[in-house]
Amino acid sequence: MTRRERMERRAARRLEWAEARRQKAKPLLAYTDRYRGDHAFNTQPGHIPERARVIRAEDKAFEHHQVADYHEQKADGISRQLDRTIFSDDPDAVERLQARIADLEATRELRKRANTAYKRGGIEAVRVACGDAMALEGATTLRVQPYYGKPFPAYSITNIGANIRRLQQRLAVAQARANTTEYDEPAHTGADR
């Protein structure tokens, strides 16, 4: 079983748990519904055991709904992670890593070009050279971090370079794994206990 399959199972389990919690809440809410519009019952002073049971049931149903929401959020997070993560044992890992490296290299070159254009003519030159999206991103950076003096500080370009190197190392491992047709299994000598 691959890592992706394990994570998909984990997300499915979370959704099952959420549905089970919602099912547990249904009878509790059905029990309390008959008192929902009864103002005399709800506002009568003093301790009424049935009202205490209704309050406990509503609290428990609310708790079940909160836990169900929590499990659904976790399942959603796992699903989003599965959408953007490349696992080494994915069948298309090599192609996806190559595509991600190409995207990062293009982004790095575009940022370098934007910095050069900014030196020559300001943010309007970035808009002409790199497009509206890069100009907007660069203008935001200049507004928030004016002390760097350029739309894309050196650390952002260095970080992209580090990610490219990291992905290239992963790509080498994934290519080696893809080129290996079979894993060497130890031979059984009969001396196993």
Domain ranges across the chain: 3-84, 93-179
C-alpha to C-alpha distance for 67 and 73, rounded to whole angstroms: 10
Tell me the per-residue pLDDT of 61-96, one tens digit each, with 9 for 90 and over. Answer: 999 999 999 999 999 999 999 999 998 888 888 999
Task: State the pLDDT at residue 184.
Answer: 47
Rg of the chain over CA atoms, in angstroms? 29
Task: State the pLDDT at residue 106.
Answer: 96
C-alpha to C-alpha distance for 122 and 178, rounded to whole angstroms: 47
Residue for token pair 């031979």? 187
- pTM of the entire predicted model: 0.68
Tell me the per-residue pLDDT of 140-178, one tens digit each, with 9 for 90 and over. Answer: 999 999 899 999 999 999 999 999 999 999 999 989 888
Tell me the per-residue pLDDT of 14-40, one tens digit each, with 9 for 90 and over. Answer: 999 999 999 999 999 998 888 888 778
